[in-house]
Amino acid sequence: MKLPASVLRLIALTRKESHQLMRDKSSLAIGLILPIILILLFGYGLSFDLSNGRVGVVVQNMTPQSNQFITGLNGTPYITATVYQNFHQAEQAIRQAEIDAIVVLPSNFAEQSANNNAHVQIISNGRSTSMASALQGYVIGALTTAQRIQADRSHMNLSNGIIVVEQRMWFNESANSTWFLVPGLIVLVLTLIGAFLTGLLIARERERGTLEALFVTPVRPLEIVLAKLIPYIVIGMVDIVMCLFAASLVFDVPIRGSLLSIISASFLYLLVSLLLGLTISGISKSQFQASQMALLASFMPALMLSGFVFDTRNLPIIVQVISQILPATHFMTLIKTLFLGGDDWGLWFKECFILMIYVGVFTLASCISLKKRLR
């Protein structure tokens, strides 16, 4: 049975693109080695967890109550408490970045604790707001614990009572920011593949002069798009598998969703990224212009506005609107839910439908850009 001419042309074009990809060592390095570097760099180098908070405690009158408070601070592996005799010494230490926060205990701290009316001043280093907020929470927790221990030992009821708060964190019970960041790395890796690999394809052929030879053949724009996509889809699927292995085996991030939902959603976003790169390459006049457009139009928005680092709901309204236009935002929401919360098929169908719309839009856009070149 003889295959249609369009299928034969597609097979020939795909073979040509595959050979070019295998000969292009830089593209293979970007597609296979750079994702590994990104996974390790972001996985180990980016963290919002408090691991070594340094607190200076100004104690004007050392008492059993103040010792108990200092012991409570040193009892956690995340904080190291240093005692200072006066506030001036602690102030010099925080200015020289030797400590991250100052806790000032008044001279009558023991009496205030006995009367359940202790006033403690906490001064945080605002250069790092995340660490400052975490340190304040630990210090307040240590004060509350010390107050409860004092009440238990003296067999007294606090005048205002004690509220016991039982804290539970769903979906990230270890309170580890790595669990939050690693799923988002899949978004960045797939965006990188589409932006910097397919974004240079057509521009590179135009500079080498091979694009004109392709135009004189009876090839259609859609056939060119599909042929250029197929080799990089294989590279992208390899990157998805590497990200899943790294998340599970290297960073111990739970994968609570099914592999079917995760891989299918990742495949759709991979198509979106590749087609966006082809569209950028089709309208660019040089590889330099294509790389700059790919960086500004895909990778940087995916890094800053997709919710990878912080929740987009905390941004200004206009920025929230822009973030909702980005396909990376929808995939970021879906992939984090699938990793940490498990399968949510309602969300899966919603976000995948939106990604399919982007696939159709960018397929049309890339074909139009090539059609203009063919003319």
53-154 is classed in which CATH architecture?
Answer: 3-Layer(aba) Sandwich (3.40)
Beta strands in the chain (DSSP E): 53-59, 79-84, 101-105, 121-124
Per-position pLDDT tens, the chain of length 375:
677 777 787 888 888 888 888 887 877 888 888 888 888 887 777 766 666 778 888 888 788 877 877 887 777 777 888 888 888 888 888 888 788 888 888 888 777 776 767 778 888 877 666 677 777 777 777 777 666 666 666 555 544 544 455 556 667 666 677 787 888 888 988 888 877 788 777 777 777 766 666 666 777 778 888 888 889 899 999 999 998 998 888 888 888 999 999 999 999 999 999 999 888 888 877 778 888 888 888 888 888 888 887 778 778 899 889 899 999 999 999 999 999 888 999 999 999 999 999 999 999 988 887 765 544
Residue that is written with structure tokens 């080695």 in the block: 33
* Cα dihedral sign, 363-364-365-368: positive
Both tokens of 19, joined, read 């050979």
Residue type, 259: L
Nearest to 301 by CA among 317, 271, 325, 282: 325
DSSP state of 157: -
pLDDT of 163 reads 47
Both tokens of 68, joined, read 């108990």
Distance CA 9, CA 6 (A): 5
Model-wide pTM > 0.75? yes
pLDDT digits 0-9 by tens, 245-259: 988 888 888 889 999
Phi and psi at residue 53, in whole multiples of 5°?
-80, 130
With a CB cutoff of 8 Å and minimum separation 6, the contacts of 34 are 192
HSE toward the beta carbon, residue 11, CA cutoff 13 A: 6
Both tokens of 1, joined, read 């049975």
- Identify the helix (H) or strand (E) that includes residue 188: helix 177-196
How far, rounded to the nearest angstrom, does the alpha carbon of residue 349 sit from its chain's CA centroid? 23
Task: Encode 275-288: b = buried (16+ Cβ within 10 Å), e = exposed.
Answer: bbbbbbbbbbeebe
Distance CA 355, CA 263 (A): 14
Distance CA 19, CA 196 (A): 18
Both tokens of 69, joined, read 């408070």
pLDDT of 289 reads 82
